[in-house]
Chain A
Amino acid sequence: MTETLHPQVAALLARYRRELKDTKPSDSLDARIARLVAAGNEVFPPRHSAVRRVSFWAAAAGIATVAIVTGILIGMRLERGAPARVSQQEAALPADFSLWPTDSVALQIPAEYSAQGTLVAVDPNARSTGKRYWIDVVVSNDGTVRIDRIVPAETNHKKGAPDGITLQTP
């Protein structure tokens, strides 16, 4: 392909090209290159591309391993830290804390062992035929009922109501 150019510009280009062709590297540049050649191997030891590639991938694998191990360690610490925080919360609770609601009533029910060996509620005014017990039953306002304790009647000095049931508030 040919390109067109203004003849005066072409002449100027040719003249500049001729002058540029006379350009020679200065002694200073020659000396710098000579120093580079002399000190080249010491300053920049030759490295093969394969070696460079292997070292690059080795470094990348090392960094990836460190990142994974760090992630695992952080995960383990978080895993351990979560129950520890719960126990700290529990430790911060007051000593009289109870899982049971405080709004509840306690009933004392007299009971005796039946012939079948089961503890059954009895009439407190009836004559005792065997060993009598007090069953402390707690009824909470959330609807839960629990037997708090069963104690022999001799050790409990509380006298029940005529119906044999004593109400207590905790």
Chain B
Amino acid sequence: MKKDSDDSERMARLAAGDTGALRELYEKHGRALLRFSSAMCRSRQAAEDLVHDTFVALLRGPHLFDPEQGTAFNYLCGVLRHRVSRHFRQQKRWVALVDDDSGVAAHEPGPADEIARSEVSAVFRQAMLELPLQHREIIALCDLEELPYHAVAAILDCPIGTVRSRLHRARALLTLRLASLEIVDLDNEPPLVQLS
């Protein structure tokens, strides 16, 4: 609770023109936002650009944050999520003249990259990146960032029930994809793990 009030105070300072508060918010939440962005985007550079854009948006409209609606991190995550979504919409308008590594990696397990250092993780990351955006983001927020459902519901602006059902579908899709890549063996299925 103390942390939230600190963030609210930083937001208020930022709204008053104290850009030092932006630096503090970046130091506190920058890494988490970059993790979320990296889990969503194929390219590390794009992930960093989106985090940067999020802080630019915050600087332009700090008054848009309402502490009654949720925490500063949830707000930043929501802004970043919209930026990610817009990034992918814009990408659809372009056609690459040269096949980049992402095009190759879409069908073949690629080598480890900056984010997923081991090859197994790289394949897992690739499978995740092939999920639809809304399933990818629910896994990134719930399973990778381990945020509570109510926080995820606040970020996605949807009911908790929707978060649960979407997460269930996303995990099922991810499991099927990993099975098709022969990373997961569904035939000799061991007992399911319970995640809290």
Contact = CB atoms under 8 A, between A and B. Distances in A.
Interface string A18-34: 01111111101100111
Interface SS majority for chain B:
helix
Contacts of A88: none
Given A12-B124, A29-B52, A44 B167 contact: no
Interface string B176-196: 001000011110011111111
B38 interface: yes
A46 interface: yes
Interface SS majority for chain A:
helix
B79 interface: no
Given A16-B144, A33-B23, A1 B63 contact: no
A79 interface: no
B70 interface: no
A34 B125 CA distance: 30
Interface string A41-57: 10111111100100000
Contact of B117 (A17, A19, A32, A49): A19
Contacts of A22: 117
B193 A16 contact: no
A5 B194 CA distance: 6
B121 A3 contact: no
Size range of the chain A interface in the assembly = 35 or more
B193 A40 contact: no
Contacts of B60: 44
A120 interface: no
Interface stretch (B14-22, B82-90, B93-101, B102-110): B14-22
Contact of A6 (B20, B121, B164, B189): B189
B27 to A, nearest CB: 9
Given A4-B194, A48-B63, A16 B121 contact: yes
Contacts of B51: 25, 29
Interface of B: 14-17, 19-20, 22-23, 26, 30-31, 34-35, 38-39, 44, 48, 51-52, 55-56, 59-60, 62-64, 115-118, 120-121, 124-125, 128, 139, 143-144, 146, 149, 164, 167-168, 171, 174-175, 178, 183-186, 189-196
Given A25-B48, A40-B59, 5 more contacts: A3-B167, A12-B120, A12-B124, A37-B20, A46-B62
